[in-house]
Every structure is written in structure tokens, then in C-alpha cells.
Structure 1
Amino acid sequence: MVPRIETLPWRHALTVPAVGPAVRMARETAELALTEWGVSLRHPAVGPALLILSELVTNSVRHAADRSPDITVIYAGSEDTLAFAVHDHHPYRPPLHEAVTGTGGLGTVMELTLRLGGTAVTRPDADGTGKSIWITLPL
């Protein structure tokens, strides 16, 4: 069973401009947070998690920057769970589970997430002006 994100004790947030360097900043921040939380960067889930994160931030930069000058990445975790969300202010919500059979960014995201036994969900903002894509992975 996947824990509720709200119950995860470790948290960090990063807001960056929706430009190319955001991908590197999101990855580096993830590595710093994981290290601070005592999660080894050599853990088998960490490499794929960083790739998933990079793909999601890249998608926001490429497809949402015209409506979302900033992207927020939320990192959360516990001793046995890693979760992160990429939020932008574009209302389009990509069909994640249709991406399982696709190629490219979201196909890679879904393939890795499911291979690791994780979950992926898109949550719209309450006002409908944006969304967050949440990934939860077991550690």
C-alpha cells in the first residue's frame, strides 16, 4: 500500500524558472535532499527516480513555460518511500497511463515508475489553472 503523501515526514520544495537549467537544479536539489535524509545515492531506486524527475521537469519547461514562468518541485519521503511532484500552471493534464505504451518522456516516466513498483498521478489545482504530477516510489 502506498502511503499518503501528506504523512511522509521528510519534505523539501524548490521553485525555479521554467527554463532549461531547471532540470539540473531539480536533480541537484533531489540529491542534496536524499543525502540529508540518509538515503544513499547508490540505492537502486535513486538513479531511475532522478531520471523520472528530469523527464517531468523537462516536460514542464518544454510544454508549460508559456503559461507557467515558474515550476515547483516538491520532494517528500520516509525510510521506505520517495515521492516527488512537479507542478506548473498549465491546465493540460497528460494522460499518464496512456503513456505506458508510448515512447519519449512520459513513456519513460511510466515505464520506470511501474517497473519500480511505484505510482503516478496527476492532480489538478483546485482552480483548474495548473497541475502537479506526483510520483511515489518504494525505497
Structure 2
Amino acid sequence: MSTGLEALPYRHVLTVPAMGSAVRIARETTEQVLAEWGVGRRHPCVDPALLMVAELVTNSVRHAAELSPSLTVVFAGGPDTFAFAVHDRHPHQPALHAAFTGSGTGGLATVVELTLQLGGSAVVRADADGLGKSIWITLPL
């Protein structure tokens, strides 16, 4: 299945231990990546993106660390798109549908709500072996 993300010209990958400090490192890296790609700090997607990365990394640290000692944040970008994914090796795939319909609560619901408010998309993609997943967020710039 083609997602269009492979056509984005910019890439950055961050792998960190699944521990509390990963949240700060991921936020700082997100800020640096956006700046390097020419997205100014005042751009309306920056603060929501920082919050979403922090929430997704926090979820991986809290819920997946036992099976996934590290997690990876993948960034992809282009002139009008910023996408990122948080990947861990825990098989549970959260139900984004609950967050989309408003019946979800907590950090994931916040991520989905912000994504929709910004005109973006959110999807969970299972690893080929079914033992991990990535949550991809794609935002228009």
C-alpha cells in the first residue's frame, strides 16, 4: 500500500531507550528537525506536533517498554507536509477509531483531536511480523 510518505524528500530517524528521558529527547529532536527543514517556531503546526510526539513517546514508554527496550521516532517532510511516527515492538495496536469518534480519552485522544484540527491524518501500521507497530501522524504545512 502506497502512503505517499515515501515521496517526501526529507528524513530523520531517532532511536532512544524506552525510558522517561526519551520524551524530552524526542521533543528536542522534533524542534531541531522542523527548524532544519525550514519550519519556523511560530508555524501553527509546531506546538501541536511537539505535544503529539511527546504523547506518543510517553505512551510507548508507559505501555511498551517491557517488550520494547527502545523506540524509534521517524520524521519525514516536504514543502507542504510534516509526518512522524513513533514505533515500538509491542504488538498492541491502539484503536484510533475510538479517538476519532470522540469516545477515547487521554493522550491518544488528544493526539487524534489535534491531528484532525490541523487537517492531518493518523494511522496505526503493524510491523510485518505483527510484533510491533508505528503510529503515523501526517500534518499539512
Q: Same fold (TM over 0.5)?
A: yes
Which residue number in structure 2 is paired with residue 52 of structure 1?
A: 52
- Residues 36-115 of structure 1: pairs in structure 2 closer than 5 A: 36-100=36-100, 101=102, 102-115=104-117
Superposed CA RMSD in Å reads: 0.9
Q: Distance in 1 between matches of 2:118 and 2:52?
A: 11
Cα distance, 1:26 vs. partner? 0.4
SS in 2 for 1:44: coil
Cα distance per residue 1:58-90 (max 9 Å; x no partner): 000000000000000001111110000000000
| Contact map agreement 1:97 1:110 (CA 8 A) in 2 | no
Q: TM-score, normalised by structure 2?
A: 0.95
Point out where structure 1 has 5 or more consecutive residues left out of the alignment: none
Aligned length: 137
SS in 1 for 2:86: strand
Cα distance per residue 1:4-63 (max 9 Å; x no partner): 110110100000000001001001011111111111011001100111111000000000
Q: Which moved more, 1:66-75 or 1:91-100?
A: 91-100
Q: Distance in 2 between matches of 1:106 and 1:35?
A: 25
- Residues 25-40 of structure 1: pairs in structure 2 closer than 5 A: 25-40=25-40
Q: TM-score, normalised by structure 1?
A: 0.96
Which residue number in structure 2 is paired with residue 128 of structure 1?
A: 130
Percent identity among equivalent residues?
Answer: 69
Cα distance, 1:99 vs. partner? 1.7
Cα distance, 1:103 vs. partner? 2.1
| Contact map agreement 1:12 1:33 (CA 8 A) in 2 | yes
